[in-house]
């Protein structure tokens, strides 16, 4: 009896400590607007985990790739979804960095004859007499000024350059899906989620075609991150994260309320959302995104992640193409299909809080899909 009481006390203390660090054991303990679970799917960095068999890497073994496997016993710790959203959001005071298309003016103290008005090219470079091409994309204004000074130092001494952005065109995001005007949106300042969706035109509903706030939307960042945002719940609760700050080149996808879909990420030609229909298969989903890239290697292990349940299934790509295997992989709405880069095909994917010091994070999902 005492032994059981001692064990319960340890579990209680552990849960209290983790809750203080931003974790929760159950979505029911979160505020109403944050009940959908957040998941970070990431390759394991522990070599001991990577060396195990496929059956040790995910709840479903290779014998039944479409089976979810037994549920883990006991409470499972899950990241706090609002904390994950805050980490996904750029800092409010993040310094602007130059990008392609930005128009800049370069002034030199005491040398008005050297003033130049330039446009950052599609390759991220500018061209200056004598110095030639200088890479400026990704640099702050002060860093760009130093790069220009360095490039001209062989021709001029004691130059002091100043870079001013006269027209911002690099802050571009794409809005797709159930909006009135899908396409690219340009922002002079930091783009935000609500501003981007408003520019795209809120979807309309009812006989009067009144604009409606979407229940949810997805933010795709690069080829390996997706953040699902329960937009209406956040707005109804007055949470400022509804107007999440975005990064340039983010893609916002507003799904049709009646649509059922999965997200495809990783080493595929066109990452993004794919609608599910009656005849949808894993092979047809991969074909709809253009197939896998060369970086996936010859024998990739495809990961099918269910963020809602924390279950990962592994399917060998070669088995999927082999008619003799006759694999029937059932896909569920909201699942994430991830094709890892070669070298990570045996990695274990697991749920954990996003570590800002780690740049290996593969998927960040704020889930509540259907």
Q: Which CATH number is 125's domain given?
A: 3.30.1950.10
Rounded distance between C-alpha atoms, residue 262 and residue 21, angstroms = 31
Comparing 155 with 93, the larger pLDDT belongs to 155
> Would you put residue 354 in left (φ > 0), alpha (ψ -120 to 50) or beta?
beta
Residue 115, CB half-sphere, CA atoms under 13 Å: how many? 7
CA angle 271, 173, 247 (to 5 degrees): 90
211-229 tens-digit pLDDT: 788 888 889 998 888 888 8
Rounded distance between C-alpha atoms, residue 115 and residue 162, angstroms = 10
Is residue 5, in this structure, part of any structural domain at all?
no
Q: Which band of pLDDT confidence, cut at 50, 70 and 90, is reported for residue 351?
A: very low
The verdict on 258 and 122 lying in the same domain is no
- pLDDT, average across residues 191-207: 84
* Distance, first Cα to last Cα, the chain: 44
The verdict on 153 and 199 lying in the same domain is no
2-47 tens-digit pLDDT: 444 444 444 344 344 434 444 333 333 333 333 333 344 443 323 2
> What token pair was written down for 20?
């203080």
The verdict on 184 and 146 lying in the same domain is no
Question: What pLDDT was estimated at residue 79?
Answer: 57
The verdict on 80 and 190 lying in the same domain is yes
User: Which stretch of 49-58, 100-109, 265-274, 329-338 has the lowest confidence by average pLDDT?
Assistant: 49-58
Please give the C-alpha separations between residue 183 and each of 90, 107, 126, 360, in angstroms, as whole numbers.
22, 35, 27, 30
The verdict on 189 and 327 lying in the same domain is yes
Closest CA to 26 of 18, 37, 17, 16: 37
Residues 6+ apart with CB under 8 A from 163: 98, 104, 105, 106, 141, 142, 144, 145, 148
79-138 tens-digit pLDDT: 567 888 888 888 888 888 999 999 999 999 999 999 999 999 999 999 999 999 999 999
Comparing 309 with 91, the larger pLDDT belongs to 91
Containing domain of residue 224, as a range?
38-93+171-366
Is residue 30, in this structure, part of any structural domain at all?
no
b/e 111-130 (16+ beta carbons within 10 angstroms → b):
eeebeeebebeeebebebee
Comparing 246 with 343, the larger pLDDT belongs to 246
Is residue 2, in this structure, part of any structural domain at all?
no
Residue that is last in its domain, among 119, 146, 167: 167
The answer to whether the beta carbons of residues 306 and 367 sit under 8 Å apart is: no
Number of domains in the chain: 2
Q: Which band of pLDDT confidence, cut at 50, 70 and 90, is reported for residue 308?
A: low
The verdict on 83 and 227 lying in the same domain is yes
Please give the C-alpha separations between residue 206 and each of 59, 176, 197, in angstroms, as whole numbers.
44, 21, 19
Q: Which band of pLDDT confidence, cut at 50, 70 and 90, is reported for residue 322?
A: confident
What are φ and ψ of residue 95, in 5° steps? -70, 140
pLDDT over threshold 50, residue 313 = yes
The verdict on 163 and 176 lying in the same domain is no
Residue that is last in its domain, among 151, 167, 183: 167
Assign 28 to helix, strand or coil: helix
Residue that is last in its domain, among 116, 134, 167: 167
Comparing 330 with 18, the larger pLDDT belongs to 330
Alpha helices in the chain (DSSP H): 2-20, 47-50, 54-57, 81-88, 141-152, 193-200, 231-236, 282-288, 317-321
The verdict on 335 and 353 lying in the same domain is yes
Is residue 98, in this structure, part of any structural domain at all?
no
Q: Which band of pLDDT confidence, cut at 50, 70 and 90, is reported for residue 73?
A: very low
Residues 6+ apart with CB under 8 A from 63: 55
Is residue 316, in this structure, part of any structural domain at all?
yes
Question: What pLDDT was estimated at residue 251?
Answer: 93
pTM passes above 0.85: no
Is residue 1, in this structure, part of any structural domain at all?
no
The verdict on 147 and 176 lying in the same domain is no
The verdict on 155 and 281 lying in the same domain is no
Rounded distance between C-alpha atoms, residue 229 and residue 248, angstroms = 18
């Amino acid at each position: 009896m005492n032994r059981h009481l001692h064990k319960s006390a340890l579990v209680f203390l552990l849960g209290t400590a983790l809750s203080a660090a931003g974790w929760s054991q159950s979505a029911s303990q979160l505020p109403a607007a944050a009940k959908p679970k957040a998941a970070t799917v990431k390759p394991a960095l522990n070599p001991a985990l990577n060396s195990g068999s496929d059956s040790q890497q995910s709840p479903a073994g290779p014998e039944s790739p479409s089976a979810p496997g037994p549920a883990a016993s006991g409470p499972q710790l899950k990241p706090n979804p609002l904390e994950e959203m805050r980490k996904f959001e750029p800092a409010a005071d993040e310094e602007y960095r130059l990008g392609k298309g930005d128009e800049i003016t370069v002034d030199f103290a005491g040398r008005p004859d050297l003033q130049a008005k330039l446009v950052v090219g599609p390759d991220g470079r500018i061209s200056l007499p004598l110095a030639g091409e200088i890479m400026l994309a990704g640099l702050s204004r002060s860093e760009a000024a130093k790069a220009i000074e360095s490039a001209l130092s062989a021709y001029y001494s004691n130059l002091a350059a100043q870079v001013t952005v006269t027209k911002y065109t690099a802050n571009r995001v794409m809005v797709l899906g159930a909006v009135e005007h899908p396409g690219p949106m340009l922002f002079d300042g930091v783009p935000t989620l609500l501003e981007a969706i408003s520019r795209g035109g809120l979807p309309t509903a009812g006989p009067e075609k009144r604009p409606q706030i979407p229940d949810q939307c997805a933010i795709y960042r690069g080829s390996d991150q997706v953040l699902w945002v329960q937009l209406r719940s956040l707005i109804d609760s007055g949470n400022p994260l509804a107007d999440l700050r975005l990064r340039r080149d983010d893609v916002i996808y507003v799904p049709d309320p009646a649509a059922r879909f999965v997200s495809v990420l990783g080493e595929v030609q066109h990452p993004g959302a794919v609608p599910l229909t009656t005849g949808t298969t894993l092979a047809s989903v991969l074909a709809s995104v253009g197939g896998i890239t060369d970086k996936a290697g010859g024998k990739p292990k495809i990961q099918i992640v269910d963020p809602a349940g924390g279950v990962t299934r592994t399917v060998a790509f070669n088995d999927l193409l082999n008619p003799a295997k006759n694999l029937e992989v059932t896909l569920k709405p909201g699942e994430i299909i991830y094709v890892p880069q070669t070298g990570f095909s045996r990695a274990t994917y697991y749920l954990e809080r996003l570590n800002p010091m780690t740049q290996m994070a593969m998927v960040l999902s704020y889930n509540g899909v259907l």
